[in-house]
Structures are given as C-alpha cells and as structure tokens.
Structure 1
Amino acid sequence: MYAACDLTHANPYLAAFAAGSTMASLDPVAAERFERFGDLLSETTKFAALLVFGALITTDRIADLSVGDWAIAVLAILVVRPAAMLLSLLRTSLPWQQRTVAAWFGPKGFASVVYGLLAVQAGIPDAHHVFDLVAVTIALSIVLHSSTDVPIAKALRVEPPDNLPGTPDEGDPSTPAHPGDETRGHNR
C-alpha cells in the first residue's frame, strides 16, 4: 500500500490507515494482539513529537510575539475552542458538566502542529510569525490542559478506563485491579 501511495504521490498517512484498517478487517485476532503494542508505539511517538515540538519553542522565537499575539493565543484556548465545542454539543443529551469538560479539553491534537508547519512550507507572508503564534498557542494549551485534567477528573469523580496502556491486567492476580488496592489488601 505504501509503495502504491509513494508511486502515485498520495498521502502516506492514507496508506498506513488503509493498511491498518485492512489488517483489522481481515484478521481481528492479529489486530487485537497488535493493539497493546500499537498503543505503546502511539504513545511513544506522541511523546517524541512533543519533545521535538517543545525544542522548537525557544525564548528567541516567542520574544518577538506582541501582546496582541499572546491575547489571540489565550482567546483561542479560553473562548474560541470552547465556544465551538459547546455549539457543536448543543443538541446532545450530555449533562452540562460533561459538555463543559468537553469544551475545555477538546478537540486538540497534533493537527495544529501540522497546520503550523504547512503555513511555513506554503510560503505565505509572515509564515514564521504564524508558526510562532500557533506554537505558543499549542504550548499554552499543553500546559493548561495537562495541569487541569486530574483536578477536573477528581472533581467529577471520573475513574480512568480499565483498558489504558499500563493498566493492570484483570486476569493477573499479582496486580491490583484499581489504584490504591495494593495498600488496602485484596479482601473484597
């Protein structure tokens, strides 16, 4: 698939997606066995990308941003994205607390990094300034959202899903099923 995409100058991400989808459809057992490794690989790749992205945000890059640029970054995080999410969730049956949390945390991801890099590669006027603005917005978002996820989850009494990477296996009696069980003992 990748060779076909390379020969036709198609998007290589499309090839990877099509290959994964095909594998999961043709052999669900192989897909299930790959899932744990895939989750680990995905998380490792995200951490590596964040490391590289963080290395690009230097004091020299952000020193040239004006007060207006910082205001745009803050407005994007605190007003624009939450308002767009709340609007998109208007007709859902979610309780207001869940709508608010969804508006605060999502959507976000590496697409913003890609869009910033596309602006630089496209040769638009002030492309580097646009990238710096995108970079500082993403950096602020990472700091704000990463420092509020646990307190918000605790306030809403949200338990982490059991199927997260690194979660103890329920079939393994040597590992506690829930955090804190190792201190309470296994008498249930």
Structure 2
Amino acid sequence: MSIAQWSLLVGTLLVAMVLTGSLLERLPLSGAMVYLLLGWLLGPDVGNVLRPDPRQHAVLLEHLAEVALLISLFSVGMQLGVPLRDRRWRLPVRLALVAMAAMVALLAVVGVWGLALPLGAAVLLGAILAPTDPVLASAVRSEPGPVPDRLGFSLAGEGGLNDGTAFPFVLLGLALLGAQPFGFADLQRWIVELVWVTGGGIAIGALLGAATGRLVVHLRSRHGEAVGLDEFLSLGLVGMAYGLAQVSLASGFLAVFAAGMALQRVREAPERALERPAHDRQHASEMRDSVQAFNTQLENLAEMALVLLVGAMLAYAPPVFALWWFVPLVLLVLRPLSVVVALAGEPLSPPQRGMIAWFGIRGIGSVFYLMFALARGLPMPIAELLLSLTLWTVAASIVVHGITSQPLMQRYRRVARVA
C-alpha cells in the first residue's frame, strides 16, 4: 500500500473508534474485541493488508509490543494512588508472585505431560502465558484515588507487577532450552537475579518518579519554571525509568510501573503550599492530570495497534488440535487454581474470589514475551506450537473476557451495594 492509502486507512480507523466509542460502552463488547476482528479482516486471511509474519519480523514485533507495554504500565501505575508500604498491596503482590509462579508451574506440567514439550519449552510456555493484562479489561480497571475498589485495584496491580516478574521465568525457560548446562550454581544466580530484577526495578522507578515529579512541582510553584510540556514529562519519565533499570540489570517494566505510581502521589510540600496563593497550589494536581490524560490516549493507541497486529498474526498461527482443550484449561481451570493458591487465608468474599479467578486476562505482555522468545531463535517445531498456543489463547481471552466483563461487573457492584 502507498503512504496515501495507509494514511486513509489509519485515519478512518481512528475516526471510526471516536464515532463508535459511546455505542461500544452500551454493548457487551470491548474495544479490543473490535480491534481483534479488524486485524483479522486486514490480515492475510481476508484483506491481506497487514502481514506481520512473526517468523520474519519477530524483532520488530517485539519492540512494538515492548513500547505498548511500557505505555500501558505507566498509565496503569498512575491509576493506583496507594503507597507501596500500604497493606492493600499484599493482595496484588501475592497474585503477581504466588499466582504467577503457580501458573508457570501448572502450565509447565501441562506442557511436558499434555503437549510432549521439553522442560525448557514447557517453562517458557508457562512464563509467556502467566502474565495478566492490566489494560484490556477496562470494565474492571481501578479508578484513580487513594481508596480504590479492592477488586479493580488488585487486578490492575497484579497485571502491572507480573509483566515484570515473569521475565526471569522466560529467561529460565530459554536457558533450559539451551545447550549449556543449568546446574545448582546457575539456579542460585537465577534466584538472586529474580530478587534484584523485581526489587531493583520497583526501587529505581519509585525513586525516579518521585524525584522528577517533586522537582517539576518545586520549579513550577516556587520559580515559575518548567511549565508546560507535560507530554514530554510523560514520555521522558517512561524513557528514563526504563533505561536506568535496564542498564542496572533490573526490570524496566516494573520501573516504569513504579514511576507512574510515584508520580501519582506527588503533592505540594504542606509547609510551602500554605505560603503560596491558591492557584499556585494546583501545580501538582494539574501536572498529574495532564500527564495521565496524555498517557491514557497513548495507551488507547498502543492497545489498538497491538491488538490489530494480534488479529492479523492469527493467520500465521494455524490452529492445532491441542487448542480445543488447552485454551479452556488455561482460562477455566489453571487460572482459578493459581488464584486459590495465592489467596489462601485472604479475607475476601466469594464474589471477589470468583471475579479475581475469572479475570486472568492475557494480552500485550504475553505477545511481548512470545516475540522475545521467537527473536532468540527457538527450534522451529517448538516455535510453531508456542506461536499458535499463545496467540489463540490471547485472542480467546480478549473475546470471552470482553463479553463477560460488563455484565459480571454490573452484578458484582449490585452485590457489593447490597452487602
């Protein structure tokens, strides 16, 4: 297609989403479901306009998914205004660590015994499909503020955290697939790296987000400097957090997520705020609102682009027989089992437990880790099987969770009001 034709297509898609946005909110549909269908229609199976062959373009698709994931994580981080030391983080942390590790283990068992995969490929499959998506289930998103709904906060926090904590398991799977031995010393090193990747990423992002936000607010409120260009602040903070974490061998995903949370909590220093006129004391909230509004729009664009590509990539992932039992097993059995393990002893109501168990949505994180693995040169039979299992699981998750999110959330809110 020519540049003019691409311009017409992209412009039409963007305007169509604006015009149909209100209609989609009234229907049991999500924007991601529409993007998935459009991607399939534009892909090789129908229109042959989009041809994102994962075998040929794995590195490019990896980078695109990585950018989309960073934007999403920063935006979700800004939705969560709860300090890291708050005990409400206990539930998302347990879901992101315990439930994810249980999911990796369960999928690895299924991979070895049900799919006849070698151990490394089975662990890799588990690591690819274990992360949940904090973006695609917009109906269960946590609202901004210091007292968010526990269900939405837990699911958003889980999705933000486990996109980063899955990375060591991906590396473990790739290492087990390699020719080099993986002994006790390698396992010790992997455990140390897991601790640093997780803790270091969160610490770097939290410190950088808080320091940057406070510096900007100080310059604006005390000196009238650094005013405007909040879009640059959003992109710049994402880039700095990710880059600093990566060069420090920590998780860039967790750093960006933590940077968004830290920026959300930036306030005027109380003793100084009282000395300023009322309109000057609005700098912090104006900065947060502006950055969040801009990043939300970026997030919507990133979601549309990536899900369109997923729809088009389905043409390169021919259905295999195992899909008929594997996808229901992942969504209906393994996710609830992993949540049961993680929520043991938590004081939750049955509706809350059921909703958390059901909304284990697979999305951008799984696509990124799939492309990351393909770009590292997997053996062809394993690559073909992981491609089909991952993309069709993500597609099924987008559809079934998109259809059920609105009615289930409406029922949950009614029950919560009665209780």
Rounded Cα–Cα distance in structure 1 between residues aligned with 2:337 and 2:262: 37
Contact 2:318 2:388 in 1 (8 A): yes
Rounded Cα–Cα distance in structure 1 between residues aligned with 2:352 and 2:261: 31
* Residue aligning to 2:399: 143
Task: Give the counterpart letter for 2:243 in structure 1.
Answer: C
Any idea what SS the aligned residue of 1:53 has? helix
* Residue aligning to 2:243: 5
Rounded Cα–Cα distance in structure 1 between residues aligned with 2:353 and 2:412: 12
Post-superposition shift, 1:127? 1.2
* Residue aligning to 2:306: 49
Task: Give ranges in structure 2 of 5+ residues lacking alignment.
Answer: 1-235, 268-282
Task: Give ranges in structure 1 of 5+ residues lacking alignment.
Answer: 160-188
Any idea what SS the aligned residue of 2:389 has? helix
* Residue aligning to 1:73: 327
Post-superposition shift, 1:112? 1.2
With the length of structure 1 as denominator, give the TM-score of the two structures: 0.67
Aligned partner (choices 324, 346, 349) of residue 92 of structure 1: 346
* Residue aligning to 2:31: none
Any idea what SS the aligned residue of 2:331 has? helix
* Residue aligning to 2:386: 130
Deviations 1:68-90 (A, max 9, x none): 23311221111111211222122
Count of matched residue pairs: 156
Rounded Cα–Cα distance in structure 1 between residues aligned with 2:306 and 2:260: 21
Aligned partner (choices 143, 156, 163) of residue 412 of structure 2: 156
Aligned partner (choices 273, 281, 284) of residue 28 of structure 1: 284
Any idea what SS the aligned residue of 1:5 has? helix
Post-superposition shift, 1:19? 6.5
Task: Give the counterpart letter for 2:304 in structure 1.
Answer: F
Rounded Cα–Cα distance in structure 1 between residues aligned with 2:254 and 2:413: 38
4+ runs of 1 displaced by more than 6 Å? 9-12
Rounded Cα–Cα distance in structure 2 between residues aligned with 1:109 and 1:13: 15
Contact 1:5 1:12 in 2 (8 A): yes
Deviations 1:82-122 (A, max 9, x none): 21122212222110111101100125442111121122112
Rounded Cα–Cα distance in structure 2 between residues aligned with 1:157 and 1:19: 31
Contact 1:57 1:136 in 2 (8 A): yes
**Larger relative contact order (Cα-Cα within 8 Å, sequence gap ≥ 6):** 2
Post-superposition shift, 1:34? 1.5
Q: Aligned pair in 2 of structure 1 residues 111, 50: CA closer, same or farther (>3 Å)?
A: same
Task: Give the counterpart letter for 1:130 in structure 2.
Answer: L
Contact 1:82 1:104 in 2 (8 A): yes
Contact 2:362 2:393 in 1 (8 A): no
Rounded Cα–Cα distance in structure 1 between residues aligned with 2:301 and 2:328: 29
Rounded Cα–Cα distance in structure 1 between residues aligned with 2:362 and 2:324: 19
Contact 2:263 2:288 in 1 (8 A): yes
Aligned partner (choices 112, 121, 139) of residue 375 of structure 2: 121
Any idea what SS the aligned residue of 2:318 has? helix
Aligned partner (choices 357, 363, 368) of residue 103 of structure 1: 357
Contact 2:323 2:389 in 1 (8 A): yes
Task: Give the counterpart letter for 1:145 in structure 2.
Answer: H
Task: Give the counterpart letter for 2:383 in structure 1.
Answer: A
Rounded Cα–Cα distance in structure 1 between residues aligned with 2:408 and 2:366: 24
Q: Aligned pair in 2 of structure 1 residues 158, 44: CA closer, same or farther (>3 Å)?
A: farther
Task: Give the counterpart letter for 1:133 in structure 2.
Answer: L
Q: Aligned pair in 2 of structure 1 residues 21, 150: CA closer, same or farther (>3 Å)?
A: closer
Deviations 1:36-55 (A, max 9, x none): 22222212211221111111
With the length of structure 2 as denominator, give the TM-score of the two structures: 0.33
Rounded Cα–Cα distance in structure 1 between residues aligned with 2:374 and 2:414: 40
Q: Aligned pair in 2 of structure 1 residues 37, 83: CA closer, same or farther (>3 Å)?
A: same
Q: Aligned pair in 2 of structure 1 residues 9, 94: CA closer, same or farther (>3 Å)?
A: closer
> Which has a greater percent of helix?
2
Contact 1:5 1:15 in 2 (8 A): no
Task: Give the counterpart letter for 1:57 in structure 2.
Answer: L
